[in-house]
Amino acid sequence: MRSHYHDFSGKIKVLDDVERKKFDQMIQGMAASRLRCVAFAHKQVQEEENEGKKVNKILTDNNLTLLGLVGIKDPCRPDVKKALEACQYAGVNIKMITGDNVFTARAIATECGILGPNQDINSGAVVEGEEFRNYTPEERLEKVDKICVMARSSPFDKLLMVQCLKQKVHVVAVTGDGTNDAPALKEADIGLSMGIQGTEVAKESSDIVILDDNFGSVVTILKWGRCVYNNIQKFIQFQLTVNVAALVINFVAAVSAGQVPLTAVQLLWVNLIMDTLGALALATEKPSKELMEKPPVGRTKPLISNIMWRNLLAQAFHQVAVLLTLQFRGESIFGVNTNVNDTLIFNTFVLCQVFNEFNARKLEKKNVFKGIHRSKLFLAIIGITIVLQVVMVEFLKKFASTERLNWRQWAVCIGFAAVSWPIGWLVKCIPVPEKLFFSYLIWSYTKNL
């Protein structure tokens, strides 16, 4: 059967191969202009009657007469391009999976910045779902990193790409809103579903629901995710420093002198600083632009990085050296009795943690005071800790087993503790090799993004 079309004068003509090529060129031209092409066609159907009742026949998609083609523009939201650039700047590789034809998909990806102006279909950056599906498993693993856009794809193609990326030990995040997206959302490390247009099945299969259906929210998720991870690292570094120093000083003193300089009450107070106040001070930092400059963290990367080990060992060594010096030479150096010397050790140890909290704010940056005026909670907790420490030393003598210190002894304790700042600055000058990882974010292009 041969199809027909209406020409400009309204006459019906046969749609031969030459005319088909002309229409194909028109469709490709619309697609290249980021338009979705819709064809309008009709056919005459004779009504049939069965026992005096009209019977509706099932229409088939053959022998149609083409009326015309219409290009519909579905522009991306203005903030999508900026959001994609922010993700790419943060080291996240964006992949777009869509059901549009390859020309429309390429045009939209170029507009958004996913594809460069010189990338084309032949470069391997743009593929169709059927082509990707027909690759051998080895070919898929080899080419999946180069693919930026997958057009004419099915939900199975999306799931297949997620599985390939995970096989290559990449961290994968997937966005989706339809029921068919559920397998890919569940398979991904992080599933992001749409809160407005998303189906209930998609929401239940995802880890995070984007309430405003805006791709810009992905950047917010990325910032806060990195912020929480970074804050956990800060707290762990601070906590391990306290534990290492307390363990070493008590162990060495117990083995050598048969008694420990830090009593149970004093250790409980140190734990209060470390576990409660320290967590509030370090774990409540808000996201900063610096977090987006770091590469993504790989799934196999240890939580305690080499940078953290460098920082905490240097600070722990400084604290242990100071405390052991006070333990064995403090009485002779400062001319005090054992009770006062033990108070000096306790006070110096606590003040070391207070000063080290500033160092823990920045794992890599030398300037630990940058942006501190915006961390009001951090400054408030530091102030509360210092006031409580003064109360412990000066007024709770029986409870904390301490002796009052004069201003010179307080100055000595503060001086020993303040040395942690220049040590932290010098230690951060030592380069530490860090292996880089890359993340992938698969973006299903929909009209809501």
pLDDT tens-digit readout, 369-395: 888 888 888 999 999 999 999 999 988
Contact 87, 141 (CB under 8 A): no
DSSP label at residue 114: S
**Band of the pLDDT at 301, cuts 50, 70, 90?**
confident
Q: How is residue 206 written in tokens?
A: 């995802």
282: confidence class by pLDDT, cuts 50, 70, 90:
confident
Pick 52 or 320 by higher pLDDT: 320
Q: What is the pLDDT of residues 154-195, one digit of tens each?
A: 889 999 999 999 999 888 999 988 889 999 999 999 999 998
Listed in order, the ranges of the chain carrying CATH 1.20.1110.10 are: 229-427
∠ CA(16), CA(21), CA(26), 5° rounding? 125
pLDDT of residue 49: 64
What is the structure's pLDDT at 316?
93
Residue 428 predicted with pLDDT over 50: yes
pLDDT band at 416 (very low <50, low <70, confident <90, very high): very high
**Bridge partners, 54 (sequence order):** 49
Q: Which of 373, 322, 380 is nearest to 351 (CA)?
A: 322
Between the alpha carbon of residue 10 and those of residues 5, 17, 263, 346, the distances in Å are 9, 20, 99, 97
Nearest to 360 by CA among 246, 276, 282, 270: 282
Whether 50 shows a pLDDT value over 70: the answer reads: no
Following DSSP, what letter does each residue of 2-42 receive, concatenated? Answer: --EEE-TTS-EEE--HHHHHHHHHHHHHHHHTTEEEEEEEE
| 3-state secondary structure (DSSP) of residue 207 | coil
Q: How confident is the model at residue 419 (pLDDT cuts 50, 70, 90)?
A: very high
Q: Residue 441: what pLDDT? A: 64
Query: Please, are residues 119 and 147 in contact by the beta-carbon 8 Å criterion?
Result: no
CB of 183 closer than 8 Å to CB of 154: no
User: Would you say 441 and 218 are in contact if contact means Cβ atoms under 8 Å apart?
Assistant: yes
pLDDT at residue 357, rounded to an integer: 92
Query: Of the candidates 434, 94, 449, 145, which has an alpha carbon nearest to the alpha carbon of residue 298?
Result: 434
pLDDT value of residue 160: 93
Q: Does domain 229-427 have CATH number 1.20.1110.10?
A: yes
For 251-271, how does the pLDDT look when each residue is reduced to its tens digit (9 = 90+)? 888 888 777 778 888 888 888
**Could you tell me what percent of the chain has a pLDDT over 70?**
92
DSSP structure string for 59-90: P-SSS-EEEEEEEEE-PPPHHHHHHHHHHHHT
- CATH annotation of 78-220+440-444: 3.40.50.1000
Tokens of 287: 């996201």
pLDDT at 436: 42
C-alpha 345/C-alpha 266 separation (Å) is 11
Q: Which range, 116-125, 186-195, 268-277, has the best average confidence (pLDDT)?
A: 186-195
Q: Decide if 441 contacts 94 (C-beta within 8 A).
A: yes
Residue 435 has pLDDT above 60, yes or no: no
- Between residues 434 and 16, which one has the greater pLDDT? 16
Report, as an integer, the average pLDDT of 63-88.
83
pLDDT confidence of residue 438:
41
Using pLDDT thresholds of 50, 70 and 90, give the confidence band for residue 293: confident
Maximum mean pLDDT: which of 79-83, 109-113, 348-352, 363-367: 348-352
pLDDT at 290 over 80: yes
pLDDT of the residue at 390: 92
Burial 181-203 (b: 16+ CB within 10 A, else e): bbbbbbbbbbbbbbbeebbeebb
pLDDT at residue 437 greater than cutoff 50: no
Query: Which of the four pLDDT bands, split at 50, 70 and 90, describes residue 448?
Result: very low
Tell me the pTM: 0.77
Which of the given ranges, 116-130, 280-294, 403-417, 422-436, has the highest pLDDT on average? 403-417
* Cβ contact 397:403 at 8 Å: yes
How far is C-alpha 185 from the geometric centre of its chain's CA atoms?
17
Mean pLDDT of 349-371: 90
User: What does the pLDDT read at residue 292?
Assistant: 86
Residue 237's pLDDT is 92
Average pLDDT score, the chain: 85
Judge contact between 300 and 310, C-beta under 8 A. Answer: no
What DSSP assignment string belongs to 411-422?
A: HHHHHHHHTHHH
Residue ranges matching CATH 3.40.50.1000 in the chain = 78-220+440-444
Over range 77-95, report the average pLDDT.
Answer: 87
Q: What is the pLDDT of residue 352?
A: 93
